[in-house]
Amino acid sequence: MSSSHTSAAGCPVHEALPHDPVPFFSSGDINFNAHDVGWLVCGTLAFVATITSCWLIRKHLSFYYHPTEQRHIVRLLAMPIVYAICSFLSYFWYRQALYFQLVRDCYEAIVIAEFFFLLLSFLSNPPPTSEEPIPTPYATKAERDAQLRESVKDLHLRKWMWPLGFLKWRPAGGGPGEGEAFLWWMRVCIGQYVLVRPLSTLASVVGEATGYYCLASWSPRFVHVWASAAITISVTIAMYCVLQLYMPLREPLKPYQPVLKFLCVKLVVFFTFWQETALSFLVTVDVRLCASLGPGRIH
């Protein structure tokens, strides 16, 4: 059994974690315990996700005809690779999981920004037509900027999405240039997440090094409480702005079917965050899973 004490910062700390009395390989036999099955399943799924994403990325690079759009798609496709590898490493070397999480969170912030820029890329190139379902993209930035302004010139917000539907404020006063002002605000509100997310995780890493990161407690003295609050507010604002951008522009974006892409990104980001929150809560209430599937039981 492991014993515990309280750190100088007031966090319950286990002096020694329990050890498995039966190794994975013993006398030529394989002993499957719960944690062994866990890292085998985690490794297998990480391998499948990585191979699948690499195959899709290779396909895009082999037919790299729309670089202004495909470069964002390739970066989005790298998300499962980063998540899968970081998750496996965090499971295998769980004591260093926070450092792998920093890498994952930095890329997560990039993914949200990349999806936003992918939408702008769709609006910055000629729209598909029945005669040309895959139109040739513009070659110069000036042409793309002109097309983007043309795409949003008639944008006029009637009201903001729920829960901010009561707001009457409109960018640029609702006059000429409202569409461009709207895009500027969306850039700011989505861009803040690119800064807040990695900085919050970096603060958690510093807190871990100084003893002020404690998942076993939700006391405000610990940095992870404030980091989680900052991330929750930041990701909510970013996701709201992505949806708010799509709603008034859904007609010009309809041929590109961005809803499924958005759901994939949103579900991965939200499920990961709320999974961490749920596990942190279980640690707080001291829930331990010690089940074993083999002859050796963790004590």
Confidence of residue 295 (pLDDT cuts 50, 70, 90): very low
Contacts of 192 (CB under 8 A, 6+ apart): 234, 237, 238
- Residues of the chain with pLDDT > 90: what percent? 6
* Total domains, the chain: 1
Residue 178: pLDDT over 60: yes
Q: How far is CA 288 from the centre of its chain?
A: 27
Q: How far apart are CA 115 and CA 175, in angstroms?
A: 28
Please spell the DSSP secondary structure of 198-231, one letter per residue: HHHHHHHHHHHHHT---TT---TTSHHHHHHHHH
Note whether residue 132 is domain-resident. no
- Residues of the chain with pLDDT > 70: what percent? 76
Dmax (CA) for the chain in angstroms is 79
Q: Which pLDDT score is estimated for 286? A: 61
Among residues 72, 71, 88, the alpha carbon closest in space to that of 262 is found at: 72
Confidence of residue 30 (pLDDT cuts 50, 70, 90): low
Structure-model confidence comparison of residues 26 and 181, the more confident one:
181
Q: Which pLDDT score is estimated for 56? A: 92
* Per-residue pLDDT tens over the stretch 72-106: 889 988 988 998 898 888 887 877 787 888 888 88
CA neighbours within 13 Å on the CB side: how many for 198?
13
Q: How far apart are CA 128 and CA 16, in angstroms?
A: 62
| Report for 70-84, 164-178, 253-267, 282-296: range of highest mean pLDDT | 70-84
Note whether residue 257 is domain-resident. yes
Q: Which pLDDT score is estimated for 47? A: 93
Q: For the residues 101-128, what does the mean pLDDT come to? A: 84
Cβ atoms 30, 295 nearer than 8 A: no
Cβ atoms 112, 269 nearer than 8 A: yes
> With b meaning 16 or more CB within 10 Å and e meaning fewer, what string describes 135-147?
eebbeeeeebeeb
Among residues 90, 84, 62, the alpha carbon closest in space to that of 74 is found at: 62
Q: How far apart are CA 20 and CA 7, in angstroms?
A: 26
Note whether residue 297 is domain-resident. no
Note whether residue 131 is domain-resident. no
Structure-model confidence comparison of residues 101 and 20, the more confident one:
101
Note whether residue 138 is domain-resident. no
Note whether residue 244 is domain-resident. yes
Q: For the residues 34-48, what does the mean pLDDT come to? A: 80
Note whether residue 246 is domain-resident. yes
Among residues 199, 274, 281, the alpha carbon closest in space to that of 239 is found at: 274
Q: How far apart are CA 299 and CA 17, in angstroms?
A: 10
Confidence of residue 28 (pLDDT cuts 50, 70, 90): low
If you search the block for the tokens 């513009």, which residue do you land on? Answer: 138
If you search the block for the tokens 């970013």, which residue do you land on? Answer: 238
Q: Which domain holds residue 102?
A: 4-126+145-284
Among residues 88, 98, 96, 52, the alpha carbon closest in space to that of 224 is found at: 98
The pTM of this model reads 0.74
**Which pair of structure tokens corresponds to residue 151?**
């795409």
Residue 293: pLDDT over 80: no
Contacts of 1 (CB under 8 A, 6+ apart): 18, 299
Note whether residue 135 is domain-resident. no
Contacts of 147 (CB under 8 A, 6+ apart): 123, 124, 125, 126, 138
* Per-residue pLDDT tens over the stretch 138-158: 778 888 888 888 888 888 887
Q: How far apart are CA 273 and CA 103, in angstroms?
A: 15
Residue 291: pLDDT over 50: no
Residue 54: pLDDT over 90: yes
Tell me which amino acid residue 272 is: T
Q: How far apart are CA 157 and CA 165, in angstroms?
A: 11
